[in-house]
Structure 1
Amino acid sequence: HDEHNEEHYELDEHHEHEHGEHHEHDHGEHHEEHYELDEHHEHEHGEHNEEHYEHDEHHDHDHDHEHDEHHEEHYEHDEHHDHDHDHEHDEHHEHEQGHHNGGEVQNVKLESQAAHEYPVEEDEAVNHLEDHKKKQSQEEEEVTHEGESREQKHDAAELHHEEVKHTTEEQHEVHPVQLHVEEEEQQQELPAGHAEQDNHKKNNKGGLLPHTQEVHHFVKPRKTPLTQPIRWDPIEYDLREDSDDEFEMRTILRPVYDEENSQVLQFKNGEPDYQGELLSCFDEPNLLYRIFNRKEKTWAFYNDTLHYEMHVQFTFGKHSMLEPLENTKMYTKPDGEHLAEVYVYPGETEMFVKGKVNGFTSKLRAVPLSDDYCKRRQELAEETIHQEMAQIKELVGDEKDAEKVLKLCLEHNLPFVDLEFPPCQDSLDTGAKKPFKQLPWARPSSYLPDNLVDQVRLFRGPIRPGEFDQGELGDVWLMCSVAAVSENPEDILKMFRHPAGAEAGKKERAIGAYRVTFNKNGLWRSVIVDDYLPISGGKPKYAKSNRDLAELWPSILQKAFAKMHGSYASICSGDPLHALQDLTGFPCCRFDSAFAAASCSSKDDFFQDWVKYTKAHHQMLLSTPGKVTNDENSNDLKLAKRYLGVGLQSGHVYRVLEAQYFAERKLRLVKLRNAWGRNAEWNGDWCSDDNKWEQYPEVAQACRFEKDERSTFWMSWRACLCYFNGGGVCFSHPLLNDYRVPSKFVAGTPSCVFEVNVEQPTWMCFTISQRDRRGRQGFNEYQPVMLSVAQPLENDLYKVVENSSNDASHPLRDKWIFFQARDISLLHRFLPEHSPYLVIPRLMQVDGQEGEVPYVIGFSCNKVVGHDGVTVQFKTIDKDNKVMHNFPKFEPEVEPVMAEYQVKPPHKGYAELKQGEAVY
């Protein structure tokens, strides 16, 4: 590994004296330092404790030695899911998908203990449109008015009252063309004004000066009403999931349009504001449309995109008799031809020309929204925001605390604006290496059609994976985790439940305030946000519902997550397993090393783990290698084509739903779902069309195989190991009671250890969490920590029986390994005959460490602690206790201590704060 640093501190407590042997090895850029210290055990000459301090960003290095009761303490620099890399922005499509390290995009293979920054996606529209970078051309043909074709009648018909008879005039027919995306140009400002015919504004090359177009409204007023639904139907929904109607689902109505006559179903992001015959200007639909009104002899254009301004330029024949409309600028060239230009912004309709057309050529460009356009929209939106904030500040002064501000807004019935995370540019790009484009912010009441404003809800239908669009932020690592959580809709609903009850939630939402509960830094936290969202083209730019813009939960969840980390930029790029833990509170572990080793191992242990995980309904994610690119010579593009050839997507995340083993056939199968719920087209072994399902009906029956099911698919274990490069598991469980105890290490000693008693065998999971470094400037490394479980011996001593590892389900029995990671977990089966146990948080002290190191201990159990035969008491332990110095046996010198803790039952999404010497 480049600049791979490894340090070992080995303690040999077998002798009375100390050796100061110092060894340095230089292998290229691989540096190791060994410090060997011999000490004497007070008892048991055969015990040998070895403390290993590894600074290793990519692999576990286990050094096994043959000693009786050999104990190894291993300090691993575990970038266990979490390098925060600021997101690189491209001038036009803000994000490039890839692993980011130090500002450079890298194709990083997933490794256990390695930083896994899930790749940031490019703007999908840009990727798609770049494939069509070809100059458009129009065929010319001689026609007469009497003999013109149907399309020519549309394009060259008389649009003026005066008829000009030129039977040999060239007519230029507009056909759909391939989209030509050009780099965004800096436009020279020209005076504003009505559309004009301009014969003088030439540049020094004899051409027309760059076209400019003023923006006067945040949302351009329509001249014609939107298509109205023929009726409103109730939405079918299982109300048992919202029995107290906290989210007002009983009053949801869905607009139903006339399928035969409605244009609403034809367009993706709005509808034209002018009636006439429609022609798509490009091969791809939902980009730019030309509208021709034969009766009024008028042309108009409608832009059905969200993120592109369409630059429309036509050169009409010299015998054309036209007047420019509204924002159209027209210039008569020296040869008599007329050049007309207009910009069509997202979701808007621009009137173009009126009159008689006698031949034309055209040039159409899709250009990413200019900085001037975005800035002007932002300025227009800020007028309302500043007014609302001024009203609030009159009441609260300099107070910014969201709870206090929200309380006063409720008392005075004012629209809530979150002063902690205001709708401004800083909330977008704080911490980014390059600034984001300036964006306007708006509430749903501003960007939605009037008939949908009173239908705004968090949820407007069943929650399903993939029922939302991640947008253009580049936080696919978060969004794919949200999709995984949405496999169980109740888990999403719980995140939005109000701690004070349904009525309190309704009152807050009525003034634009929302709460989302996360587990951050080990503690449950309710995050308050307003409903202002970054907007592009009249719709939310980032996460949003892809079936109904009046459904807000994806946008609000993403905004609350961004607030929790300081900005939207701070959540660009990351590990899906970290996001899963923040969303659910359940411990997560990566298994990249085991996954890589499985392909060349004859053992079946790893696959059997998968069988157990899926039967227990734990959430498992797999990722494919690569990143999105348009470079024809790129290895990533070649990889993407290879994966598409077998029906998979490179640089993507998939959810593991089942793992099945058929011993009689030595067959291992895995069932997967695309985390976005898109159709799966896997065409390899055991795909939907594979005849093996017919050859082996017993396998099909056991797998509940349905040939027509396209949202999920099966593949062989061998194919899985071939096409995926790693992943992890979230130890989720629907019936766990969750407890959180904020604590701290003082000079390496924990402020609280835990005495556990059980009356019957009980599984519990303990987690030690440090403060997340995401969004924290200047914070580089986590402290090396470990969890130890000890049980009593017959001679009033305790013995450490298990220590935490990088895999919660496989703790270590004979090694002491400290992991430098955000979260470390340990699953243990507690037995009555070995009670009471002690669970001891550990910190390895290193140079430069602060005197106090805060952390949180979380533990979960499928029984109610304090009842159901399970008790957990809070204790203190002396700093000189031998267990704090890596002795396996020690005296239980502990005393009771008071502690604050959170309790969250499985049916609630928020926690209750309690205090005591034990959980009750």
Structure 2
Amino acid sequence: MAYYQEPSVETSIIKFKDQDFTTLRDHCLSMGRTFKDETFPAADSSIGQKLLQEKRLSNVIWKRPQDLPGGPPHFILDDISRFDIQQGGAADCWFLAALGSLTQNPQYRQKILMVQSFSHQYAGIFRFRFWQCGQWVEVVIDDRLPVQGDKCLFVRPRHQNQEFWPCLLEKAYAKLLGSYSDLHYGFLEDALVDLTGGVITNIHLHSSPVDLVKAVKTATKAGSLITCATPSGPTDTAQAMENGLVSLHAYTVTGAEQIQYRRGWEEIISLWNPWGWGEAEWRGRWSDGSQEWEETCDPRKSQLHKKREDGEFWMSCQDFQQKFIAMFICSEIPITLDHGNTLHEGWSQIMFRKQVILGNTAGGPRNDAQFNFSVQEPMEGTNVVVCVTVAVTPSNLKAEDAKFPLDFQVILHPIDVVSCPSKKHLSAHPSLR
């Protein structure tokens, strides 16, 4: 457990591009017009060249939700759900899988989603918040969305739903990163941290002897976000396979259970595919139409088994560990997976910023950041989690590069240390589609 060297200070909300939501909205209301965001215009530049070229996009127009067919738009209808999300033309499953998990956590989602409406004080302007480098950043957008043939080009509302919070939140995240092209391929860890400000626990499924059911239940009880990823397939693209899974793809973990089967018990795990309704689902054991559901006499069968083409499905934990490569748990309280999947009773944070020591080595110029901290209450298991965030990307680094040229060492004695990367530069897996 780390020790605070300075009192915790509540971070203020940073206004992205110095745009104040209330000021802009009130000005539009007083002028009787809808907001047009010139910092993220309704133009090809906001989509980005990578998507325009790869998807061969043309005839893209921008429309506000009330100008689209399907009836009056809603920001949130009844309540938010992962089933409101339908992935579109951008390969941003890494963000949408994290967002799908966020919908299950009221504590986190209230920080991201402001109370907004298409009727009360509507001026075509919306706002969302994301965690960036130790502080919450508020991003303002207008509600003009790129469409082709009256269909949203990227995340779109579910059929007959007209619920636009996922489309608008995706647009705000695209603006924060630079364009929709910057959502095209990415890393689950980035999205999880940006949506929560939490700490990542990375479980390598092929090598970690972890009790998955207990780990998922412990993380769920702690209010954690839980996602997972499949490895790449024959090609370096996301492709639906014969078993119903998608290669190089991110999923939301929505539950795990022990279920009665024949004369014993079987461990199963529930996942959701951001591709959404009517799209690819697992076709193996414990899938929606499998024989295992017919054979089980578990009294929770009707509660657990919902045979719907909604992108959500069950599979055995054994198959999950074979078919998926990693599971990511993001929580404000780090989870110790090597000592019974327990939560730390207390957790403190030390944050160092911009304390860089310049130096030179035989290999050329380099920046050495050296930080000292103390751990005053050692305990069993993980004592320290170290996260590194780089706020500025070197100009010579391409966005699609899998690794960032950064190394760091943690030297502590006599306790154990876990190094937990934050941001794509230390990711050990390829970007997800």
Q: TM-score range by the shorter chain?
A: 0.5 to 0.7
- 1:442 is aligned to 2:63: yes
Q: Distance between the aligned counterparts of 2:86 and 2:25, measured in 1?
A: 33
Would you tell me which structure has more helix in proportion to its own residues? 2
User: Structure 1 467/526 Cα, relative in aligned 2: closer, same or farther at 3 Å?
Assistant: same
| Alpha-carbon shift at residue 472 of structure 1 (Å) | 1.3
Matched residues, number? 373
Which residues in structure 2 correspond to 1:81-480 (within 5 Å)?
A: 401-403=18-20, 406=24, 409=27, 412-413=30-31, 414-429=33-48, 434=53, 436-437=57-58, 439-445=60-66, 447-448=67-68, 452=71, 455-480=72-97
- Structure 2 match to 1:623: 229
Letter in 2 for 1:585: G
2:387 matched to 1:768? yes
The answer to which structure, 1 or 2, has the higher relative contact order (CA under 8 A, 6+ apart) is 2
Q: Displacement, 1:478?
A: 1.7
Change beyond 3 A, Cα 1:442–1:596? same
1:573 aligned onto 2:185: yes
Residue pair 1:743, 1:752 contacting (<8 A) in 2 also: no
Q: How does 1:877-896 map to 2 (within 5 A)?
A: none
Answer yes or no: is the 8 Å Cα contact 2:51–2:181 preserved in 1.
yes
What is the aligned partner in structure 2 of residue 213 from structure 1? none
- Partner-residue secondary structure (3-state), 1:510: coil
- In structure 1, distance between residues paired with 2:120 and 2:408: 41
Asked whether 1:545 is paired with 2:157, we answer yes
Change over 3 Å in CA distance of 1:678–1:534 after alignment to 2: closer
**Alpha-carbon distance between aligned partners in 1 of 2:350 and 2:118, rounded to the nearest angstrom:** 29
Contact 1:442 1:532 in 2 (8 A): yes
Question: TM-score normalised to the size of structure 2?
Answer: 0.68
Tell me if the contact between 1:535 and 1:541 (Cα under 8 Å) persists in the aligned partners.
yes
Task: Give the unaligned 5+ runs of structure 2.
Answer: 1-16, 335-344, 358-367, 399-403, 429-433
- Say whether the 8 Å CA contact 1:468–1:547 is kept in structure 2: no
Residue aligned with 1:721, SS: helix
Deviation at 1:420, TM superposition (A): 2.1
CA deviations 1:704-731 (Å, max 9, x no partner) are: 8645544654433332233334443333
Scaled by the length of structure 1, what TM-score is found?
A: 0.35
RMSD across aligned C-alpha pairs, in angstroms? 4.7
Deviates more, 1:469-478 or 1:742-751: 742-751
Contact 1:464 1:489 in 2 (8 A): no
Among 105, 108, 111, the residue aligned to 1:494:
111
- CA deviation map 1:573-600 (0-9, x unaligned): 1123321221122222443xx32336xx
Following the alignment from structure 1 to structure 2, what is the Cα–Cα distance between the partners of residues 440 and 662?
Answer: 50
Partners of 2:191 and 2:110 lie apart in 1 by 17
Structure 1 pair 715–424 and aligned structure 2 pair: CA distance change class (3 A): closer
Mark the CA change 1:550 to 1:696 in structure 2 (over 3 Å): closer, same or farther.
closer
* Residues 540 and 702 of structure 1: CA distance in aligned 2, closer, same or farther (over 3 Å): closer
Q: 1:773 to 1:666 in 2, by over 3 A?
A: farther
Answer whether contact 1:475 1:572 (CA < 8 A) is retained.
yes
Matches within 5 A, 1:605-620: 605-606=209-210, 608=211, 611-617=214-220, 618-620=224-226
The one-letter amino acid of 2:252's match is R
Cα–Cα, structure 1 residues 624 and 821, in superposed 2: closer, same or farther, change >3 Å?
closer
Listed one character per residue, the Cα deviations across residues 301-321 of structure 1 (whole Å, up to 9, x for unaligned) are xxxxxxxxxxxxxxxxxxxxx
Distance 1:572 1:625 in 2: 17
Structure with the higher strand share, 1 or 2: 1
How far the C-alpha of 1:571 sits from its partner, in A, is 1.3
TM-superposed deviation, 1:555: 1.4
Give the CA deviation at 1:553: 0.8
Specify the alignment match of 1:731 in structure 2. Answer: 331
Instruction: Give 1:674's aligned amino acid.
Output: W
1:544 alignment partner, SS class: coil
Q: What amino acid is the match of 1:672?
A: S
Q: Cα deviations across residues 389-408 of structure 1 (Å, max 9, x unaligned)?
A: xxxxxxxxxxx742297277
Percent identity among equivalent residues? 22
Q: Is the 8 A contact 1:654 1:674 kept in 2?
A: yes
1:716 corresponds, among 316, 319, 331, to 316
How far did 1:614 drift?
Answer: 2.9
1:675 pairs with 2:273: yes
SS at 1:466 equivalent:
helix
Asked if 1 retains the 8 angstrom alpha-carbon contact of 2:98 and 2:191, the reply is yes
Task: Please state how far the C-alpha of 1:572 moved relative to its aligned partner.
Answer: 0.5
Q: How far does the alpha carbon of each residue in 1:890-912 deviate from its partner, in whole angstroms, 9 at most, with x for none?
A: xxxxxxxxxxxxxxxxxxxxxxx
- The verdict on how the C-alpha distance between 1:416 and 1:678 changes in structure 2, with shifts beyond 3 A counting, is closer
* 1:513 is the counterpart of 2:125: yes
**2:141 equivalent in structure 1:** 529
Question: How far did residue 557 of structure 1 move?
Answer: 0.6
